[in-house]
Amino acid sequence: MNLSASFAVLVALIPYALAQSPEWGQCGGTGYTGATTCVSGTVTGEPNADGHLKATSAPSAPSPTVSTGAPAPSVSGLHTLAKAAGKLYFGSATDNPELTDTAYVAKLSDNAEFGQITPGNSMKWDATEPTRGTFTFTGGDVVASLAEKNGQLLRGHNCVWYNQLPSWVANGHFTAADLTDVITTHCGTLVGHYKGQIFLGCDQRSVVVNRIARATFLIPSYSEPFNDDGTWRSDVFFNTLGQSYVSIALKAARAADPNAKLYINDYNIEQTGAKSTAMLNLVKQLQADGVPIDGVGFQSHFIVGEVPGSFQTVLEQFTALGLEVAITELDIRMTLPATDALLAQQQKDYQSVVQACMNVQGCVGVTIWDWTDKYSWVPSTFSGQGAALPWDETFNKKPAYSGITAALA
Ligand code: 9MR
């Protein structure tokens, strides 16, 4: 099912959406059959190719008098604060198995808290092309449709990464020409599947409305493309194609969806040093070679008490190249049990990390790597560690939440 089809089904299932489109909701466009007026206080307009509304916008519809049946929005929330401060979004990762947890989904769907979501696993290579040429977008479509329903931006994740590869790729023993074809087909098909629909949207601040077209595809992440000393990581892509695999992937993604923002993402590049310098040099080289690259994502999997002091400086080094930057996978873990002192330090750490993004105009938004400790990846990866997110396992806000709001306010 393609996205426009899935969106049409969704609207049919949600009668309240037909009355008036909520803030950030769709209200027109190719194949669209839902509400065509916006709630009071928002404007309607068509996005430019960059996803921003054109300067002129039509007046809003009168105040709604119908009961929508939708949950009452929070009076404040992380995304609301981030937008008021000029950012594009505050968002969260999610994963398909968690979407059976209705209390979890209700909070994830509160677009006062989260204006953007990233699928943690279901758009990865092993999920989307398990055998060569056979694409399965079922899981990714569920997350994309949820974002659409909630009026949230979607960040795609990911296109080329050494991890979670099916063995036909990792152990394929391809020639350079074959692997080029494999990457081009995979990235092109993935990004093409989620290609944005041009539509009219409701947005209070006339900023970005083209949610799906803003999908961003992450190229190498985790310890790719670089080792911590700044050398290139040895993997099937680099070993077969050298660093050209990055430009092969980016060009395929751009050809598939000229409006999608293309990011390279990595971890341990948040402080000045060999790895962030290697990333800077890579993006400079890509720009010099005319390879499409829009932004750099800083994963930001940090440890309480050890967040880097030079993060803002590094972000500025990248925006100085004309790129946008984003914090894409933020969490700040601790050694368990969580004590008051650790939680207080975590609050400070969240504040300083989000503040670094706030201080840099080209930092478009912050994504936490899921919002509740219940579904964090940390405990299963780092034995004895956890409590890395702003909400605890029973969905109560931790002091970290106040740290984030202090930075966003
Ligand atoms: O959150 C993801 C977790 O569920 C997976 O088991 C793990 C496997 O590689 O990947 C996690 O997400 C990673 C992301 O895709 C890339 N950056 C690091 C993230 C945490 O490992």
Model confidence over 80-139: pLDDT tens digits?
999 999 999 999 999 999 999 999 999 999 999 999 999 999 999 999 999 999 999 999
Range of the domain at 112: 78-408
Which atom, in ligand 1's list, is nearest to the CA of 158?
A: 15
Alpha carbon of 389 to ligand 1 centroid (Å): 15
Burial 20-39 (b: 16+ CB within 10 A, else e): bbbbbbbbbbeebebbbbbb
**Would residue 373 count as lying in a domain?**
yes
Mean per-residue pLDDT over the chain, rounded: 81
**Would residue 347 count as lying in a domain?**
yes
Say yes or no to pLDDT of 348 above 70.
yes
Residue count of the chain: 409
**Which residues is 261 bridged to in the sheet?**
216
Residue of 348, 261, 277, 266 lying closest to 307 (CA atoms)? 348
The CATH code of the domain that includes 253 is: 3.20.20.80
Model confidence over 204-239: pLDDT tens digits?
322 333 333 344 554 444 345 788 899 998 999 999
**Would residue 31 count as lying in a domain?**
no
Say yes or no to pLDDT of 33 above 70.
no
pLDDT band at 24; cut points 50, 70, 90 = very low
CB 307 within 8 A of CB 275: no
**Would residue 11 count as lying in a domain?**
no
What is the predicted pLDDT for the residue at 75? 55
CA–centroid distance for 351 within its chain: 20
User: Whole-angstrom Cα distance, residue 94 to residue 98?
Assistant: 7
CB 355 within 8 A of CB 311: no
When divided into structural domains, the chain yields a total of 1
Whose alpha carbon is nearest atom 20 of ligand 1? 377
**Would residue 63 count as lying in a domain?**
no
Parallel, antiparallel or unpaired: strands 26-29 and 199-203: antiparallel
Say yes or no to pLDDT of 19 above 50.
no
Q: Which of 99, 121, 124, 374 to mutate to test the pocket of ligand 1 (most atoms within 8 A of CB)?
A: 121
Whose alpha carbon is nearest atom 6 of ligand 1? 377
Query: Which is more confident, 10 or 312?
Result: 312
**Would residue 52 count as lying in a domain?**
no
Model confidence over 275-333: pLDDT tens digits?
999 999 999 999 999 999 999 999 999 999 999 999 999 999 999 999 999 999 999 99
- Catalytic sites, residue numbers: 329
**Would residue 145 count as lying in a domain?**
yes
**Would residue 59 count as lying in a domain?**
no
Q: What percent of the chain has pLDDT over 90?
A: 64
- Amino acid letter, residue 320: A
